[in-house]
């Protein structure tokens, strides 16, 4: 069951739960996420950043699309953090049902201009569009400035931006950063800012950089109206750390014996995130 982002988040909004977006670039992690969603009857979003899309290639995501279409669980195939109109076109041509155009590093008016252009193109072929105002920090190689360089979303911009662009979901900056946080740094979500933004709009709100944050804050953010939370680093680190430990212990080299150990860790992390999102058992609503 392959839906667009609007279709999957409209139901989440109506029934007050959150859908996780999981960035995957290869088949074992992808299959682990899908099987977890199927086991727990939970809707999910399969995401790829532009560099991940380029690395894995269109043929891989053609396989992903086919696998999701065969599932009885509702999924979205989503391009994360596209920086250009052309990135979005390529993803849509490859079968993605949702794209994020990230103009947050542009001026406000330029962000609106490029976002509106993507919306006009994507909506013509029933593809949803997510955009961002404010900038989310980064803890790895990125154009963004890290945990101290976050530009918080200005609530007064939210209505104007969404009305002028007609986007389907809005990523907001409330204190998270991409990747793992530096040792000794404790992130804190600005939940009061989330409440203020939520009071102004019913558009589905998105949290990027959802890994490595306190469970209590993520769960409370979902209760307050976050409808999509992006997860990447948490399950990838669990996957590779498990494989590293297993390989160091066994020196094995058969993928069919090695990779399931990492996949088990992915499933454990994803299941835990789904508990925070309260999305288990919700697939039957679609």
Which residues are annotated as catalytic?
80
Q: Could you give the count of Cα atoms lying within 13 Å of 176 in the half-sphere of its Cβ?
A: 25
Neighbours of 38 (CB within 10 A): 15
- Asked whether the CA dihedral 206, 208, 211, 216 is positive or negative, the reply is negative
Element (H, E) at 274: helix 255-277
Element (H, E) at 131: strand 128-133
End-to-end CA distance of the chain: 9
10 Å CB burial of residue 93 (0-12, 13-18, 19+) is: exposed
Q: CB of 1 within 8 A of CB of 75?
A: yes
How many angstroms separate the CA atoms of 83 and 79, rounded?
A: 11
Q: What is residue 207's DSSP assignment?
A: E
Rounded Cα distance, 205 and 170, in Å = 5
3-class DSSP state of 252: coil
d(CA 31, CA 94): 19
CB neighbours (10 Å) of residue 39? 14
């Amino acid at each position: 069951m392959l839906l667009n982002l609007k279709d999957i988040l409209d139901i989440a909004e109506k029934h007050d739960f959150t859908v996780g977006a999981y960035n995957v670039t290869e088949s074992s992690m992808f299959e682990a996420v899908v099987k977890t969603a199927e086991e727990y009857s939970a809707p999910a979003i399969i995401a790829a950043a532009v560099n991940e899309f380029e690395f894995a290639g269109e043929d891989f995501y053609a396989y992903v699309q086919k696998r999701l279409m065969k599932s009885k669980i509702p999924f979205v195939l989503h391009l994360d953090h596209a920086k250009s109109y052309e990135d979005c076109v390529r993803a849509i041509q490859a079968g993605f049902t949702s794209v994020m155009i990230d103009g947050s590093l542009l001026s406000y008016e330029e962000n609106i201009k490029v976002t509106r252009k993507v919306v006009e193109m994507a909506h013509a072929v029933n593809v949803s569009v997510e955009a961002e105002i404010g900038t989310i920090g980064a803890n790895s190689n990125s154009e963004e400035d890290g945990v101290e360089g976050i530009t918080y979303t200005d609530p007064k911009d939210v209505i104007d931006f969404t009305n002028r662009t007609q986007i389907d979901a809005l990523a907001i900056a409330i204190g998270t950063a991409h990747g793992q946080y530096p040792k000794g740094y404790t992130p804190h979500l600005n939940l009061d800012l989330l409440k203020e933004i939520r009071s102004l709009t019913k558009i589905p709100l998105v949290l990027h950089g959802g890994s490595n944050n306190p469970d209590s804050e993520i769960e409370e953010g979902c209760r307050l109206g976050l409808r999509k939370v992006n997860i990447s680093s948490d399950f990838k680190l669990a996957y590779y750390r498990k494989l590293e430990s297993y390989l160091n212990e066994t020196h094995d080299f058969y993928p069919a014996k090695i990779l399931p150990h990492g996949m088990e860790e992915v499933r454990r992390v994803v299941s835990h995130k789904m508990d925070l999102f309260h999305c288990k058992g919700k697939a039957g609503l679609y």
